[in-house]
Amino acid sequence: DTEGLLRIKEENQKHYRRAQRHQEKKEKIQRHNRKLGDLVEKKTYDLKTQYEHLANLRRSHILELTSVIFPIQEVKTSMRDPADVSSESDNAMSSSTVSKLAEARRTTYLSGRWVCDDHNGDTSISITGPWIILPNNGDYSAYYSWVEEKRTTQGPDMEHSNPAHTISAALCYATQLVNTLSLILDVNLPKKLCNRQVKTTERNHEFCGENLSRHRFTRAVKKLNANILHLCFSQHVNLDLLHPLHTLRNLMYLVSPDTENLGR
């Protein structure tokens, strides 16, 4: 029994010494983990600082781009409500007729159905200048009418103020701006839209090339609107401000200096 007790004591001492070594290793590992934790915390702070710096650089580049090359602003027209004009010319007009005229002016026939236009058709959004504008309600029927007229009418188009020209130019510039913003923000766009002329291939600029059919034009506009909305979502633009048909207005909200997360 005494010899067995001595063996047990020796084994216990060995286990104790081994436990001490394990404890020292544990403390060493804990100190190493604390150092790594402090290093990771510092690196995380540095990374966050770099992200903020990068966001500020992106924001400054975007604001410079949209103030010098692609300025976007709202253009108000001086159109008077036909209900007001009619009521002035005919004092005997009933109030119901006036209200019906006002309601008719707030609606637009778009893509085979009547849609409500809250902005009453009095505002448009311009890009690169006040002469290149898009209808605020997304009604691009002037382009369709122009293409149909070009098919039936021979000879050059001498009408420089044709609204179809401004629609095509505005969509062209919007596509260029969106593609540039995707590069600056490092955001991949869900839809591919080409913004340059390519003679050796079949892919030309979606809007400034040949006269597009209604199907191709509508498809290109939908792709452009999807890309703009994708960029707006990535920059946390207020969803209450966005509308799927308001091409330049959504773009204006995206690049506005009031967008807090622009550049993230």
Going from N- to C-terminal start, the domains of the chain cover: 62-73+126-153+160-263
pTM above threshold 0.75: no
Task: Mean pLDDT check: name the lowest of 40-49, 119-128, 212-221, 242-251.
Answer: 119-128
User: Is the predicted pLDDT of residue 33 greater than 90, yes or no?
Assistant: yes
145: Cα separation from own chain's centroid: 29
Please give the span between the terminal C-alpha atoms of the chain, in angstroms, as a whole number: 76
Q: What is the model's pLDDT at position 77?
A: 59
> Hey, CA dihedral for 255, 258, 259, 264, is it positive or negative?
positive
User: Is the predicted pLDDT of residue 88 greater than 50, yes or no?
Assistant: no
* Phi, then psi, of 112 in degrees rounded to 5: 80, 10
List alpha helices for the chain, DSSP H: 2-68, 82-89, 95-105, 141-152, 163-185, 214-234, 247-254
Task: Give the residue carrying structure tokens 């920059």.
Answer: 235
Per-residue confidence band for 161, with pLDDT thresholds at 50, 70 and 90:
low
Distance CA 95, CA 93 (A): 7
Average pLDDT over residues 86-103: 56
Average pLDDT over residues 85-108: 55
